[in-house]
Amino acid sequence: MINLLYNKLVQEFKMAKISKNAQRSGSKELLSKWGGKIIMKSKFENGKIKHYAECQASKNTARRPKDLF
């Protein structure tokens, strides 16, 4: 009886866990040197997907978010 309750608690705990990536995604908000929020975007160009960072205030773009600091 005790083993059944313990196993049920362990299963519920495993289902409630969040992955490492999901825990971190909402906590960071990057700001550029122009004062706008940096967001990542993607576009399809020449048969490939290109990812880039964009400042919402000034619309400046860069390959990486670090380049907009």
Specify the residue for token string 């929020």. 37
Q: Per-residue pLDDT for the chain (69 aa), expressed as one digit of tens each?
A: 667 666 766 665 555 566 666 655 555 678 888 888 888 899 888 888 999 999 988 888 889 888 888
Amino acid identity, position 55: C
Q: Which residues contact 64 (CB under 8 A, 6 or more apart)?
A: 53
* Predicted structure pTM score: 0.55
Q: Which helix (H) or strand (E) holds 50?
A: strand 48-55
Could you state, in order of their start, the residue ranges of all structural domains in the chain? 29-69
